[in-house]
Amino acid sequence: MVFLRERPLQRLRRSATPAPQTIFLHAPAVPRSGAEGTNGQQEGNTMARSKPTARDALRKLREQRAQLENEEARLREEAATELGKLLIECGAETIEPAQLRQIVRASMALGIEETLKRIAPA
């Protein structure tokens, strides 16, 4: 039989040094970086972002519409230039503008395929 013997309890010594203090990172004495915990907001700016309002959405929509209108006007000018070059290449510069307008409107009403069938030599 084996007897287990516990060690005697050591006497508790009182040290002269105080226990370590806990340092809190959010204490004013600890400097924080400009972006830490602020989601990109500056520390001095305490106001939260406001939700976009219906007025803001309408203003943005109007701005987009104006940009699209400008883009459409630019593209129409480019298309007109391309078509003008095509007309000159075909020798259609001798056709009066009013007659050309009538030809194009009639062909669009009939459809391109039908117009080509009608004017094709038999």
- pLDDT tens for residues 60-105? 999 999 999 999 999 999 999 999 999 999 999 899 999 999 999 9
pLDDT band of 121, cuts 50, 70, 90: confident
CA distance 117 to 80: 26
CA distance 69 to 61: 12
In Å, what is the CA distance from 26 to each residue of 23, 32, 48, 111? 9, 8, 20, 75
What are 2-26's pLDDT values in tens digits?
666 666 555 555 555 666 666 656 6
State the virtual CA torsion across 99, 103, 108, 109 in degrees, nearest 10.
Answer: 90
pTM of the shown model: 0.47
